[in-house]
Amino acid sequence: MSDGDCRDNLIASSLPLFAAKGLNGVSVRELAAAAGVNLSMISYYFGGKEGLYAAVLTDQFAILGKLDELVQRETDTLRKFELYVRATVTRYRKNPYLLRFYTSELTNPTASFETIIKPAIKNVVQTLLDAFADALSHEDFRADLDPADTVLALAGMINFYFLLEPATAELVDHSPERDEELVRHIMDIFTRGVLK
Amino acid sequence: MSDGDCRDNLIASSLPLFAAKGLNGVSVRELAAAAGVNLSMISYYFGGKEGLYAAVLTDQFAILGKLDELVQRETDTLRKFELYVRATVTRYRKNPYLLRFYTSELTNPTASFETIIKPAIKNVVQTLLDAFADALSHEDFRADLDPADTVLALAGMINFYFLLEPATAELVDHSPERDEELVRHIMDIFTRGVLK
DNA sequence: GTCTATATTGCGATAGAC
DNA sequence: GTCTATCGCAATATAGAC
């Protein structure tokens, strides 16, 4: 195995294992075997299992395009929110393990929560709050809405859809072919509501 | 310690530990110490750590009132959805560990996922789908909405609000005093949307 | 940089006394 | 029903050869 392959192999093949079982659910032996690498390499390159986990997490978040820049560049206020929803769907499709790390860290936080996950989430929420303030100043939205409740509601609609998939796959069609329709429905409810 | 106390103590004091760290994040020694009980009692009463975990989970879900009956008994279609949102808030306030088990199992499923969590989630989603069909037949809702997208959107708004709390506590006021306002805002967006 | 071999610790579980 | 003591194993990590 040539130089550096070891490190990259470990990160790549640890990703699905950490995502599926969590930090404490996998052993270094399992991780090394999946990478086809000697288990001592984990300590050598990452200083231990937690170091590898942090590297996998850092890697996941580095891949992500800057959602906030994308949203901020858009001028039409309502389209900012649509852009957020659409970009979130694209992210989760391109990166099927990302949401698992988010929710796993939210529920059973490790040391990486404060350093990686929490700042990332706060950043997105703040971007949405800014977009909301923007929308209010342009008088696009009703003035009686609470900013936080509103943006968390939108974020919840799209994120929860993906989170529930393992439980509702037999009840609801979660296939990527329906993504465009999903985005349309969510934006429709967000803007106009469900009533006639 | 009198008869039966051991068992109850273990379930009660394991609840926050399992919720915070997950099944693999706690040891039997830690669980026994928290309950003030000998560690051999875990095997004696529950057949092992996983048995105790399953008992804690079963206990959590047994406490819950029947959400589906509550919703089905309501006649006004829109109020069914409001009842769901309100009952969900009440649940999570009364039972601060419940959502953690839901999301932990969705993200890093154990053996309990298929037996306990998945049926519980499917049951709630099905109840909401029935309520949606009801609303359509009464011509309360617009006919161009997708049932699944719509009910998952509503469920996402309220559930995600609680899920994000550990990350957004400094950005958003999550105090119970605002619960009533939160429910009002969510139902407002769900029914009328955000536009003027 | 990668291996083998091993040190060390902590784990879950239980046998057996009371 | 509860305890002590311990078994057997798997965990992470590393020393040292190559």
Domain boundaries defined on chain A: 3-56, 60-192
Domain A3-56 fold is Arc Repressor Mutant, subunit A (1.10.10)
Domain A60-192 fold is Tetracycline Repressor; domain 2 (1.10.357)
Residues facing residue A136 across a β-bridge: none
Using an 8 Å Cβ cutoff, are A31 and A42 in contact? Answer: yes
**pTM value?**
0.97
Q: Half-sphere exposure of A95 toward its Cβ, with a 13 Å CA cutoff?
A: 21
The pLDDT, as a whole number, for residue A1 is 47
Residue with tokens 């309100």: B86
The pLDDT, as a whole number, for residue A3 is 53
**Distance D12 C1' – A181 CA (angstroms):** 48
Residue of B17, B18, B30, B106 for testing the chain A interface, max A β-carbons within 10 Å:
B106
The pLDDT, as a whole number, for residue A4 is 64
**Distance D12 C1' – B196 CA (angstroms):** 59
Q: Quick check: A71 pLDDT over 50?
A: yes
Strand C nucleotides, any atom under 7 Å from protein beta carbons: they are 1-5, 10-16
Residue B25 buriedness (CB in 10 A; 0-12 / 13-18 / 19+): middle
Low-confidence ranges of chain B (pLDDT < 70): 1-4
The pLDDT, as a whole number, for residue A194 is 86
**Chain A residues touching residue B196 (CB < 8 angstroms):** 139-142
Using an 8 Å Cβ cutoff, are A160 and B152 in contact? Answer: yes
**Distance D4 C1' – B95 CA (angstroms):** 37
Each residue's pLDDT tens digit, B11-20: 999 999 999 9
